[in-house]
Structure 1
Amino acid sequence: MTADAVETITPDAAVEGKSRGTVPAARHETFTVDYHLAAPPSTVFEAFADTPVRRRWFKLPGRQVSYHHDFTLNGGETASSVFTVPGAAPERLAYASRYLDIRPGSRIVYAYTARVDDMPRWTSLVTVELQPHLDGTHLRWTEQAAFLTPSAEPEHDFPHLRGATRLRLNGLAAALGQPQGSSTTPVRM
């Protein structure tokens, strides 16, 4: 067994002393994106809370898209779509989150899982902090991700997640009717 694999033992196999095989170990990454928006924290917060506004900036790629959003403590969001790339089989994408902490105008904490073809690719804990800053809001997005099932190119999994977060925040700025916000380079911790 390599350092990158974990042995999985089924209950029946444990009794017989047999293992079913190995699965890759989860890889963990943390990053932070600081972003400035030219809107007060209360307006930025509402862009997370108000479902029609959220639909303008939080999107899954593809067709056959469905969404459900319950912005309450212990509520959450589900989204699914079918994503097609020329020359490849369609992928079924799914997102499911649960809100763990909601502080109006200042903080949102949630956990989510991203699935591709019913396999959990990664799960994350996200903290979004909103602070008044000069002419708007300083948004700090901190995400702690556990990559559970690597893609065909696992070296791209973490950069893909970071890049998608930056694009999502650019979409947030557009949904608020402003040019792309300014951000610092995501920092690995």
Structure 2
Amino acid sequence: MNERSVQHTTFVIERTYGASPARVFAAWANPEAKAQWFPKADEFDFRVGGREFNRGTHEGVTYTYDAHYQDIVPDQRIAYTYIMDRDETRISVSVTTVEFQKSATGTRLIYTEQGAFFDGEDKPEYREQGTKSFLDALDAVLQRERMPEESKH
């Protein structure tokens, strides 16, 4: 039998976006908007108790992301739990909170993830780096779609 292990970690990523909290929140809540910066979901039910699910293959390996929304406060907070599998192997389980706070230049987003990473199959630093890349992609989308009234700020 293989040695089993679990690595627990918490990481926090903060970003400031030049868009209103309502626009940044909508980029998470609307499936078409979210697909511009995060892998397109096979299932997207954005409500408390709802599910976001996608499965994709990269270099012959199938990855599964299966999230369940636990708390949603429009324009303020999203809390969800999710699992990640690689093929048939569970590689992590996480609890994530995304906060949207009004700032002088738009929105301060605070992303907090608490994860359990199993058997060395995934590493917290890989997840944090991947999340930073997604949040950078979100910034690029928001900048590209900047509304005229927001560009005055």
TM superposition score normalised by structure 2: 0.89
Percent identity reads 30
1:117 is matched with which residue? Answer: 87
Higher alpha-carbon Rg: 1
- Size of the alignment, in residue pairs? 145
Distance 1:142 1:175 in 2: 21
CA contact (8 A) 1:78 1:97 kept: yes
Matches for 1:2-151 after TM superposition, within 5 Å: 21=1, 23-59=3-39, 67-84=42-59, 90-151=60-121
Distance 2:118 2:84 in 1: 10
Distance 1:22 1:170 in 2: 37
1:159 is matched with which residue? Answer: 125
Q: 1:25 offset after TM fit, Å?
A: 2.2
Q: 1:24 offset after TM fit, Å?
A: 1.5
Partner of residue 177 from structure 1, selected from 138, 143, 147 = 143
SS at match of 1:24: coil
SS at match of 2:98: strand
Question: Once superposed, which parts of structure 1, at least 4 consecutive aligned residues long, lie more than 2 Å away?
Answer: none
Amino acid at match of 1:75: G
Distance 2:27 2:113 in 1: 19
TM superposition score normalised by structure 1: 0.73
* Unmatched 5+ stretches in structure 2: 146-153
Distance 1:132 1:77 in 2: 26
CA contact (8 A) 1:97 1:113 kept: yes
Give the aligned CA root-mean-square deviation in angstroms. Answer: 1.7
Distance 2:119 2:88 in 1: 11
SS at match of 1:42: helix
SS at match of 1:57: coil
